[in-house]
Structure 1
């Protein structure tokens, strides 16, 4: 499943090409890909036709595009087109004359010059598109990431958020992310550290790959008890989460197969730089520099896997498993 850097790569591409363009035609080729739009395909079309994309916003792995119809009064309840990428969803901008992909599900024709179509492609149909309402953020701060900054995007000026994303915490690249608040939340939760990193109500956007990479960089075991973490350890961990995500952004995201691509169809290459994830039985690169031959280990964790170095990330005596 795409993680925060992958979604941010997509968001930046959409921000560059979509903002200010009107949706002139909507084709739903597979109704399963708009199943989250409860009122069906005709209402989906009606909600989108004639609207203009105002911005592209992300919080964690949630992505939405606020809409406005310049020919009508501002709606009492603002709306947005929300995209859920699922396991294999792709938002690709292409020219109208380009051949359709086998798994094309929804096509939006846009005003202006080429590329004139936004295509939603989804092989496994776990993702989808739907129109949602925007609600005020609980803290009165911007709802998520917008703009094209290399530091993770600028905050959108509107203190609105898609209703489906209102329950999740801010992610580490969000300018409004609060390190002291996150540190206190960790201590109160009393759980294993990786479980906390994957808990979207504590901190959003971190998935299995980048959790393992940040824990390796911080020399922290995945089962370390959150209530026993020192302030310096939490600060180092958050900095390493940011560093790993920004490195992935610079490389275009992490891609292990053909299912993840950015909006231009180009895969990411960050998997070549992974230090822990997927490297079971391979030498720990940090230990190698010390002349040691420690091998990366894999443990089963929450029906998934955790990869770590048993020397750099020692097993805690009183951890939470």
Structure 2
């Protein structure tokens, strides 16, 4: 893969305003592509029908322009649903319907399983007759992760900082690939989209490092290429907690509307210089 022109992407969800952490990812992805004459893609991940808002899309576009970033292609996941349905069909017998609510799953877990609380497999053991009898009920689709791993054998992937990583999707349990309220989960959609759009380098925060184990498995099952990953440190506040929309992280839009210089902010991020009260967390 090295020696190829880099194709990168920034893929925000229009569920709230962008913050400094998003700016860092966008700047790094943009600059990696531009350094070698490559392409920088903007993909709006808008298939969370309960939280996505059209007004946030316009704000995202304004924020990125304010930072001085230009993209070569703009796409929307909501226009790519047929790709996710085709991928789900290809996974076929590895998927099973799950009727469990989040509350029921939480109640069934007495202790965490690895880095995430793995699904205990409640619906995996349902008979074909039981599934058929309940299929009219609201449900998602999970992948039988153990069977999937057995099918493809050992896998690895590369991170530009961590080196070669042995994929270990088993630690995540039977993850959801399609939800009751969305046609594809993050895991399935991002894997399919990156391959379909020819993304060679994935730039994203360190908080998504563990998700790559699942993405590598899906790439193998669907016979898709594996990009090089660039997981960067997260920006944290004075309390050491990572920035997040739900925690009221300072919005880029607020900075923009206050008259701050977006180009200057982007240049500062390139030098790992952050506004007062913020710092980069552990790599």
Q: TM-score category by the smaller chain?
A: under 0.3
Compute the TM-score of the two structures, normalised by the length of structure 1. Answer: 0.21
Question: Which structure dedicates a bigger proportion of its chain to strand?
Answer: 1
By relative contact order (CA 8 Å, sep 6+), the higher-ranking structure is 2
